[in-house]
Amino acid sequence: MTLADLHDPALRERSVDRLLPIHEAFAPALPGLQPGRIVGCSGPAAMSLAVAVASRAVVTGAWLAAVGVPMLGVEAAVELGVPLRRMVLVDGDHSPNAWVERVAAVADGFQIIVTCPPRGAERVLRKVRTRLQARGCVLVVVGSDDPGMSCDVELATTAVEWNGLGRGFGRLLARRCTVRVGGRRMPRPVELDLWLPGADGRVALASSVAPAERDDGFDSHDVWSQAG
């Protein structure tokens, strides 16, 4: 960055303070995606969560890069409302250093990255974080169960229930899941009850939000059965 670049209004506009929009189902927990942050998704619905979190920003013009996730279901992403014209798949790598290099190169031009980090990526996370913060890019990590991964925001699916499928009949229709939103930047974790997706194919809030219990003996299944 040179001094003259500071005069460039287009660059100024790309300030790190701007929030990327997020799907309104997540609104009770997150007002938006803070550029430069790392969002982790884990549990049995991790990939859907990651795409749902990113979808609204892509709709409003951001570019989405999927780094090292060749198994991403494109059709499902379309069903969650991701415009494919701004989605690019970038090959991942098994070595953490090569992964960092690629994420850094992608962060230069993309506003959202969905990635499955390779084993040992937590050692190089600090490097990634500096780059993300410099470029104002959001990293969505799928499968962040790794204890070494410290994400700014952590979305964990705790309870998942599928509707529509019986024993030998029916088909998968809708999924209701409890998502616990915590992480380093969330001092008070919040629990969301989401349709991911609902019977109409959309992501939606299923019921009101409960602040999550803080004690370690917390069992979301109990809350689920009482609420449901």
Partner 1 sequence: MVTVWCADWPVVAAGAAADVPAAVLVANRVVARTPAAAVAGVQRGARRRAAQGACPELQLHELDRDRDGRAFEPVVRAVAELAPRLEVGEPGWLTLLARGPSRYFGGDQALAERLHPLVVAATGSVGFGVGVGIADGRSASSIAARRAARTSSGVIVVPPGGSPDFVSPLSVGWLGELGEIDPELVDLFARLGLRTCGQLAALDGRDVLARFGVVGQHAHRLANGLDTRLPAAADPPPEWCVEHPFPEPVEQLETVVFVGKRLADKLVATLSGDGRVCTRLVVVVETEHGERNERVWYRHSGLSAAAMVERIRWQLEGWVAQPGGLSGGVALVRLVPDEVRSDDGVQGGFWGGRSRADHDAARAIVRLSGMIGDDGARVPEWTGGRLPADRFRWVPAATVDLDDRDDGGADRRPWPGALPPPSPMVVPPVPVPAELHDRAGQPVMVSGRGEVTAAPAVLIVAGSRQRVTGWAGPWPVEERWWSTGRSRRMARFQVVTEQGAAHLIGVEQQRWSVLATYS
In the complex, the residues that contact partner 1 under the rule CB under 8 A are 4, 7-10, 13-14, 44-48, 51, 61-63, 65, 70-79, 83-91, 101-102, 105-106, 108-111, 159-162, 165-175, 177, 197, 201
Q: How far is the CB of 23 from partner 1 (least distance, A)?
A: 15
Nearer to partner 1 by Cβ, of 80 and 186: the residue is: 80
- What are the angstrom distances between the C-alpha of 181 and each of 15, 175, 215? 26, 18, 15
CB of 188 to partner 1, least distance (A): 26
Q: 50 or 212, CB closer to partner 1?
A: 50
Are 72 and 88 contacting, i.e. CB atoms less than 8 angstroms apart? no
Closest CA to 57 of 136, 116, 152: 136
Q: How far apart are CA 108 and CA 110, in angstroms?
A: 6
47/186 with CB nearer partner 1: 47
Query: Which position has the token pair 């069992």?
Result: 219
> Given the complex with partner 1, which of 175 and 180 has the nearer CB atom?
175
Question: What phi-psi label fits residue 197: left (phi over 0), alpha (psi between -120 and 50 degrees) or beta?
Answer: beta
Q: How far is the CB of 220 from partner 1 (least distance, A)?
A: 12
Closest distance of CB 198 from partner 1, Å: 9
The Cα 204–Cα 208 span in angstroms is: 11
